[in-house]
Amino acid sequence: MNRTQQPVIRLENVSVAFQDLLVLEDVTLTVAAKSFLALIGPNGAGKTTLLQVILGLVRPIRGTVRVFGAAPWDIKPENRRIGYVPQVMGIDLGFPISAFEVVLMGRYGRLGLCRRPAKADRAAALRALERVGIANLADRPIARLSGGQRQRVFIARALATEPDLLLLDEPTTGVDAASTESLYELLRILYEDGVTMLVVSHDVGVVASYVEGVICINRRIVAHGLPEEVLGSEELAQMYGCDAMFFHHGRVPHLCVERDE
* Least distance between other proteins and beta carbon 253 (Å): 34
Q: How far is the CB of 45 from other proteins (least distance, A)?
A: 20
Q: Where along the sequence are the contacts to other proteins (CB under 8 A)?
A: 55-57, 75-77, 80, 82, 84, 86, 90-92, 94-98, 101-102, 105, 108-111, 113-114, 116-117, 141, 143-144, 157, 161
Residues 125, 131, 132, 133, CA torsion sign: positive
Q: ∠67-71-74 over CA atoms, to 5°?
A: 120
CB of 55 to other proteins, least distance (A): 5
Q: Which is nearer to other proteins, 176 or 258 (CB)?
A: 176
Collapsing DSSP to helix, strand or coil, 49 comes out as helix
Rg (CA), the chain: 18
- Choice between 108 and 205, CB closer to other proteins: 108
Q: Which is nearer to other proteins, 132 or 252 (CB)?
A: 132
- Which residues face 244 on adjacent strands? 257
Whichever of 11 and 142 has its CB closer to other proteins, that residue is 142
Q: 105 or 257, CB closer to other proteins?
A: 105
Sorted by sequence, the CB contacts under 8 Å of residue 241 that are 6+ apart come out as 42
**CB under 8 Å to 242, separation ≥6 — which residues?**
257, 258, 259, 260
Nearer to other proteins, 60 or 86 (CB): 86
Q: How far is the CB of 165 from other proteins (least distance, A)?
A: 12
Rounded to whole angstroms, how far apart are CA atoms 71 and 101? Answer: 30
CB 160, min distance to other proteins, A: 11
Residue 136, Cβ density class (10 Å: 0-12 exposed, 13-18 middle, ≥19 buried):
exposed
Residue count of the chain, please give it: 261
- The least distance separating other proteins from the CB of residue 145, rounded to whole angstroms, comes to 11
Write b or e for each residue in 121-133: b if 16 or more Cβ atoms lie within 10 A of its Cβ, otherwise e.
beebbbebbebbe
